[in-house]
A and B are shown apart, each in its own frame.
Chain A
Amino acid sequence: MWVYEKKLQYPVRIKNPNPKMAKYIITQYGGPDGELAASLRYLSQRYHMPIPEAKAVLNDIGTEELAHFEMVGAMVYQLMKGACPEEIKMADVGTYFADHDNAVYPSTGTGVPFTAAYIQSKGDPIADLHEDLAAEQKARATYENLIKLADDPDVIDPLRFLREREIVHFQRFGEVLQKVREYMESKKYF
């Protein structure tokens, strides 16, 4: 079970609505390399990890990804809040607006709804950990693209934080990969 803290992991305080930026960022909410996919991937894969350290890392990082999901949701919400239909039309977010108004819905920027097809839970710890390493790199690359697209410091600052977390997670998954490999190797000769 989880204990909820009623605050964001890193503050999101966006003063100026920007529906176009919301459309770019929402892919990290419900897209292929987004935070929802990441948390469901790690929280599902943790069960079949062979050593407690690996279960714990997947559990912790999967939990943190939920906190990132919440941050990205807050960013999309604040960027859409207060934007009038005319601005939304100008920013070419009308197709999203027609379906969801100013609400936050897990999808890509082009409206593809979230799907578990973005993730795998293979039952092979080595294969799964390689997917997790790749997922962190893909998310890092996405955040860099989003930083390139953003010019508001209120938007860039949380994106920068989220990008750095991907690097830290990559390091942790790399360490777990080595531990799992050593464990599996040790089981061969007993």
Chain B
Amino acid sequence: MDYRHPRYCWPRAPYGYYDYPMKKGLELAEAYIPYQQYTTSLSPMEALRAGTMFPELVRPYEKKGCEGGKADESCSR
């Protein structure tokens, strides 16, 4: 066991942090959202329906039933 590995230092790095090589240019205490790469686009009608012309950004929201087993017909979350 290599106790010089950063995982054994204090404060301890989050588990898994040093298991993956850091992508070049990523820094601590910064927020990152990857650049979108253009692939294909929806037709204008499909895009209006979906709310975006980019299929990779389509994230529909589905209402879920109530949790906890107390669901009745009038209840949906």
B3 at the interface (CB under 8 A from A): no
A122 at the interface (CB under 8 A from B): no
Which one, B33, B51, B63, contacts A178 given CB within 8 A?
A: B33
Contact code string B41-77 (vs A, CB < 8 Å = 1, else 0): 0000000101110100111110100000000000011
User: Could you tell me if B57 and A147 are in contact, using CB atoms closer than 8 angstroms?
Assistant: no
A148 at the interface (CB under 8 A from B): yes
B interface: dominant SS: loop
Interface size class of B (residues with CB under 8 A): 20 to 34
Residues of A bordering B, CB below 8 Å? 10, 130, 133, 143-144, 147-148, 160-165, 167-168, 170-171, 173-175, 177-178, 181
Residues of B bordering A, CB below 8 Å? 30-36, 48, 50-52, 54, 57-61, 63, 76-77
* Apart from A162-B51, A171-B36, A173-B33, 14 more pairs, CB < 8 Å: A133-B31, A144-B61, A164-B50, A164-B51, A164-B52, A164-B59, A165-B51, A167-B52, A168-B51, A168-B54, A168-B57, A174-B32, A174-B33, A181-B30
